Structure 1
Amino acid sequence: MESHIGFPRVLILAFCVAGIWASYIYQGFLQETISTKRFGPDGKRFEHLAFLNLAQNVVCYVWSLMMIKLFSRRSAGGAPSWSYWSASITNTIGPAMGIEALKYISYPAQVLAKSSKMIPVMLMGALVYGIKYTMPEYICTFLIAGGVSAFALSKTSSKTISKLAHPNAPYGYGLCFLNLIFDGFTNATQDSIKERYPKTSAWEIMLGMNLWGTIYNVIYMFGWPNATGYAAVSFCKEHPEVAWDILMFCLCGAVGQNFIFLTINNFGSLANTTITTTRKFVSIVVSSLLSGNPLSVKQWGCVFMVFSGLSYSIFLKWKKLQKKRRTE
C-alpha cells in the first residue's frame, strides 16, 4: 500500500481520484439500474434489494482475504474476529436501508439524504455529549439540512416517479436517516476497535466486518420468517442480466475500497473525504444525464446548496489541520 519511491505524488493522487470516482459512480449507476429497471420480456422488477447487501459482503470478504494473503498477512496484535460482531449488525442494517430507500425515492435524492451525515453527528454531540460547535460549523449544517429539506419538498418529475417501484418520499427519506444513524454507530465502533488493537490493518477490518455481515445476511435472506434469498436467486437464474449487474456492483465496491485505503495511507482522511464528496456530486450529475432522472432548476439549487455546505466543512477541516501542524 505504500507509494513507489520517486513516483510523483500528484500522479498517485490522480490515480486514486480516478479509481474512486470510476468505481463508485459506476456502482451508483448499477444500483439505480437494478432498483428501477424492468428485466426480461415479462418486465419484472428485482424487488429483493437486500440481496445486494449479502452479495457485497461475500465479494468484499473474499477480496479482503486475497489482499491479506497477497500483501499484508495477518498481524499478531490485530483485533480478534469476534470484536466486529456489534459493528457488523449496524453495518448490515444501515446499508440495507439505504438500498431499500431506492424503491421509494430517486437515486439523486438518496445521495443527497446520505450526504447529510454530519447533521445527526452534530445533534448527538450537542444533545448527548454537550459538545459546543462554532458558528461556521452551524452554517455548514444549515446549508446541508436546508438543501436536503428543500429537495425533499420540491416536486419530482413524473418520469422519475414512474421508474420507482413504490413512490413514497417520507418513507424513503426516513430509511436514509436511519441508515445515517446506523453508519454513525458503525464508524464509532470501528474507531474503538482500531484504538484497542492499533496493529489491525484496514484489510483485517474489512475481513472481520464482511465475515459477520455475511453471516447476518445469510440468516436474514435464507432463514425464517422471510427467506427471500431463494426468490432472489431464482430471479437471477431467470434473468442473468441482473446477476451480472449485481456482480459488477459488488466488484465496484471492493475495488473502490482499495482506492480509499490507498488514498488514506498516502494522503490522509481529509483528502479521501474531499474525493468522495465530489464523487457524490458527480454521481448525481451522471444519474440525471444517463438514467433519466431529470432535476428541476429548484432541485439543482438544492444540490449546490448541500455541496456548498459539504465543501465549506472540508475547508474548515483543512484549516484546522494546517493550524495543528503549525503548532507541532
Structure 2
Amino acid sequence: MEAHGAGDSAEFSIGIFAWPGILQETLSTKRFGSDGKRFEHLAFLNLAQNVVCLVWSYIMIKLWSSSSGGGAPWWTFWSAGITNTILVQPWVLAKSSKMIPVMLMGTLVYGIRYTFPEYMCTFLVAGGVSAFALMKTSSKTISKLAHPNAPLGYGLCFLNLAFDGFTNATQDSITARYPKTSAWDIMLGMNLWGTIYNMIYMFGWPHGSGFEAVQFCKQHPEAAWDILLYCLCGAVGQNFIFLTISRFGSLANTTITTTRKFVSIVVSSLLSGNPLSPKQWGCVLMVFSGLSYQIYLKWKKLQRLQKKKKT
C-alpha cells in the first residue's frame, strides 16, 4: 500500500469503511430479479456477518496467533455477546456520549480505576460532540425520539448506552485477566456468541424470518453475493476495532470512533458550504482540547515508564 502514496491509501481506507454502508443501503432499497422483490430481512445481516467474522477470526488465529495459547477462553465472552447482540438502534446524539458509560461500567462492574484528568478528557470530548450533534440535529428528528412514547424512547437510548458500556468494559476485563488474548481471540469469542444468539432469534424464535431470508438468497443469488461482500467488508473493519481494543483498550477505541464520526460531520459541513456557528466552533475546540490533553497525558505516562526502565 505504501507504494501507491498517501492519496491512494486514504482512498482505499475510505472505500473499505464506506462499502458496508453502501451495500446495506443497496440491500434495503434494491429490487432483485425479474419479480422486483426487495430484501426485507435486514436482521439476517447480523447473523451473516457473525458467521463470516467467526470464520475469518478462526483462520487468522490459525495463521498468525502464537501456538503457546494463553488467550481468553471462548466461553468468557458470553455476557458481552448478549449485550452486543441485543443492542437497540442508537440515536446519534446518545451514541456520541458512549465514552461515559464505557468508563462508568468499567468502574462500577469491574473496578477499573481512571484518573481525574482521564474523566475530564472524556467529558470534554463527549460533551463537545454531543453539543455539536444537538445543534446539527433538527427539532423534527429530535421529536421522533419522544414520539409516540417519550419514556420508552429515552429509555431505549439509556439501555443502548448501558449495554454498550457493559460490552466494552467486559472486553477490557477479559483482556486484563488474560493478557495473551489477541484481537482475533476477542473477534472469535464475540462473533461465536453473536452467531448462537442470532441463530436462536432468526430460526428458533416464533415467527423467525431466517428461513425466508435463506429462501430469498436462493431465488436471488445477486442478493447473496451482496450480503457476502457486506460481511467481508465488516470483517476487515472488525480487525481494526479489535486490534485497537486488544492493544489500547475499549475507551481508546470508543474515543477514536466517536472522534472519527465527529470529524466527518465537521468536514462534511464545511465542504457542503454550511459554515459553522461560533457555538459549533466552541464545540470543536472542546473536542480537540480533550483529545490534545489526552495525548499529553499518555506522553507523560510514557516518559515516566522510560525513566523507570533507565533506573
Match of 1:321 in 2: 298
Change (3 A) 1:118 1:266: closer
Give matches, 1:34-49, under 5 Å.
34-35=27-28, 37-40=29-32, 44-49=37-42
Change (3 A) 1:207 1:138: closer
Give matches, 1:1-328, under 5 Å.
21-35=14-28, 37-40=29-32, 44-94=37-87, 97-98=88-89, 113-121=94-102, 137-155=122-140, 168-170=144-146, 178-260=159-241, 276-277=257-258, 279-281=260-262, 297=274, 309-328=286-305
* Whole-Å separation in 1 of the counterparts to 2:122 and 2:284: 14
Gaps of 5+ in 1: 1-6, 102-109, 157-166, 289-294
* Whole-Å separation in 2 of the counterparts to 1:298 and 1:123: 35
Change (3 A) 1:14 1:75: farther
Change (3 A) 1:265 1:61: closer
Change (3 A) 1:254 1:287: farther
Q: Considering only aligned residues, what root-mean-square deviation do their CA atoms show, in Å?
A: 4.6
Change (3 A) 1:202 1:236: same
Please report how far the alpha carbon of residue 178 of structure 1 lies from its aligned counterpart in structure 2 after TM superposition. Answer: 3.5
Q: Secondary structure at the match of 2:206?
A: coil
Q: Secondary structure at the match of 2:180?
A: coil
Cα deviation, 1:165-193, whole Å, max 9, x if unaligned, reads xx955588865653332221111111111
* Whole-Å separation in 2 of the counterparts to 1:122 and 1:43: 48
Aligned residues between the structures: 292
Higher relative contact order (CA 8 A, sep 6+): 1
Q: Which structure is larger by alpha-carbon Rg, 1 or 2?
A: 2
**Under a length normalisation based on structure 1, what TM-score does the superposition of the two structures give?**
0.68
Q: Secondary structure at the match of 1:225?
A: coil
Please report how far the alpha carbon of residue 239 of structure 1 lies from its aligned counterpart in structure 2 after TM superposition. Answer: 3.8
* Whole-Å separation in 2 of the counterparts to 1:321 and 1:44: 53
Contact in 2 for aligned 1:277/1:310 (Cα 8 Å)? no
**Under a length normalisation based on structure 2, what TM-score does the superposition of the two structures give?**
0.71
Change (3 A) 1:136 1:81: closer
Contact in 1 for aligned 2:168/2:250 (Cα 8 Å)? no
Q: Secondary structure at the match of 1:213?
A: helix
Q: Secondary structure at the match of 1:33?
A: helix
Contact in 1 for aligned 2:202/2:208 (Cα 8 Å)? yes
Change (3 A) 1:20 1:280: farther
Amino acid aligned to 1:327: R
Match of 1:105 in 2: none
* Whole-Å separation in 2 of the counterparts to 1:326 and 1:38: 54
**Aligned-residue identity in percent:** 58
Change (3 A) 1:122 1:204: closer
Contact in 1 for aligned 2:57/2:188 (Cα 8 Å)? yes
Please report how far the alpha carbon of residue 220 of structure 1 lies from its aligned counterpart in structure 2 after TM superposition. Answer: 0.8
Amino acid aligned to 1:316: Y
* Whole-Å separation in 1 of the counterparts to 2:153 and 2:6: 35
Q: Secondary structure at the match of 2:295?
A: helix
* Whole-Å separation in 2 of the counterparts to 1:188 and 1:119: 11
